[in-house]
């Protein structure tokens, strides 16, 4: 069995991404909402029709594509038409996933700009557009990685399938698949751990009353209402497309 799919490794990656996501949200929350950052075309033709946030994200992806970021199966770009890598293939770790083109980044970007930024940032405009946009790129990339990691979670579960998952896979029924991959106890463990981390990491910031920061409850709600459900959506989409013939291939 590929190391990348050991349940322990998948869990470890997901747990470590909690720090990255919480740090990124705290960094963004030091600035106000800054609505102009998300308005396409507001800064004229120079940004090729994109918003400032979109421009910074796309240029970042163009650079990272050149050094092979998106040849890794756990990375998903927000933009199409990125440059081909200028580095030779790494010949690194084998890709344990079945071939797929699942990419829900358009949904993640809309969610982030329209829902999450207003949740984490105090209303208003501090004109720190560039700084806010740079933080947005970090948030979007971290959220995308965590949510699409559902592919690895799903493949790992499929290879260790229990009876309920075996039946759901055979029927390719999204509701049965969703029920079979759902473990409320594990979800609660994640939420408890995120709440503890968010409380810890925002503690010092809150003592410094002059900088806005994000409440731990908001971070936990983002996990509960968006990150975990979208991760499960990715799992179901992946499993619906997974060939049954692979079922016995784990070792």
3-class SS of residue 117: helix
Please give the torsion angle defined by the CA atoms of residues 162, 240, 17 and 56, in that order, rounded to the nearest 10 degrees: 180
- The CB-of-237 to its own copies minimum distance in angstroms stands at 25
* Residue 50 binds its own copies, judged by CB under 8 A: no
Q: Does 55 bind its own copies (CB under 8 A)?
A: yes
Of 171, 214, 221, nearest to 26 (Cα)? Answer: 214
Applying CB under 8 A, among 5, 26, 165, 177 the residue interacting with its own copies is: 26
What does the per-residue mask of binding to its own copies show for 112-131, with x meaning CB under 8 A?
---------------x--x-
Q: Is 15 in the site for its own copies (CB under 8 A)?
A: yes
* DSSP string of 69-115, one letter each residue: GGGSTT---SSSSPPPPSSPP---S---SPS-----HHHHHHHIIII
By CB under 8 A, the residues from 182 to 211 that bind its own copies are 196-197, 200-201, 203-205, 208, 210-211
Under the binding rule (CB under 8 A), the answer on residue 20 touching its own copies is yes
Written as six digits, the tokens of 249 are 């291939």
98 near 155, Cβ under 8 Å?
Answer: yes
Which CB, 180 or 222, lies closer to its own copies?
Answer: 222
- If binding is defined by CB under 8 A, does position 28 make contact with its own copies? no
Question: Which one among 43, 164, 176, 233 touches its own copies, defined by CB under 8 A?
Answer: 43
Query: Going residue by residue from 69 to 108, which x/- string records binding to its own copies, judged by CB under 8 A?
Result: x--x-------------xxx-x-x----------------
> Which of 21, 60, 132, 219 lies at the binding interface for its own copies (CB under 8 A)?
60
Q: Which is nearer to its own copies, 28 or 109 (CB)?
A: 28
Specify the DSSP class assigned to residue 4: G
Considering the rule CB under 8 A, would residue 59 count as an interface residue with its own copies? yes
Q: Which residue bears the tokens 């980044």?
A: 105
- Two tokens, residue 36: 């102009």
Q: Print burial letters for 115-146: b (CB count within 10 Å at least 16), e (below 16).
A: ebbebbbeeeeeeebebbbbbbbbbbbbbbbb
The DSSP code for 160 is T
Compute the C-alpha angle 186/138/238, nearest 5°. 45
The distance of closest approach from Cβ of residue 236 to its own copies in the complex, given in angstroms and rounded to an integer, is 28
Q: Does 150 bind its own copies (CB under 8 A)?
A: no
Q: Which of 5, 10, 21, 47 binds its own copies (CB under 8 A)?
A: 47
Answer for the pair 136, 56: CB distance below 8 angstroms, yes or no.
yes
Q: Which residues contact its own copies (rule: CB under 8 A)?
A: 12, 15-16, 19-20, 23, 26-27, 30, 43-44, 46-47, 52, 55-56, 59-60, 63-64, 66-69, 72, 86-88, 90, 92, 127, 130, 133-134, 138, 196-197, 200-201, 203-205, 208, 210-211
């Amino acid at each position: 069995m590929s190391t990348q799919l050991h349940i322990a490794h998948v869990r470890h990656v997901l747990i470590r991404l909690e720090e990255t996501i919480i740090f990124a949200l705290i960094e963004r929350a030091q600035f106000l909402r800054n609505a102009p950052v998300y308005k396409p075309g507001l800064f004229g033709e120079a940004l090729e029709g994109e918003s400032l946030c979109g421009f910074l994200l796309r240029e970042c992806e163009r650079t990272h594509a050149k050094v092979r970021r998106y040849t890794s199966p756990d990375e998903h770009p927000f933009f199409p038409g990125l440059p081909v890598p200028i580095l030779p293939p790494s010949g690194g770790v084998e890709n344990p996933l079945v071939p797929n083109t699942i990419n829900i980044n358009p949904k993640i970007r809309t969610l982030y700009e329209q829902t999450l930024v207003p949740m984490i940032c105090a209303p208003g405009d501090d004109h720190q557009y560039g700084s806010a946009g740079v933080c947005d790129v970090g948030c979007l990339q971290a959220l995308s990685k965590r949510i699409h990691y559902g592919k690895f979670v799903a493949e790992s579960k499929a290879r260790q399938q229990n009876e309920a998952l075996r039946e759901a896979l055979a029927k390719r029924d999204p509701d049965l698949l969703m029920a079979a991959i759902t473990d409320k106890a594990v979800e609660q463990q994640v939420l408890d751990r995120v709440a503890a981390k968010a409380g810890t990491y925002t503690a010092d910031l809150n003592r410094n009353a002059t900088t806005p920061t994000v409440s731990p409850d908001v971070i936990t709600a983002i996990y509960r209402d968006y990150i975990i459900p979208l991760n499960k959506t990715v799992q179901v989409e992946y499993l619906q497309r997974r060939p049954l013939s692979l079922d016995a291939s784990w070792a």
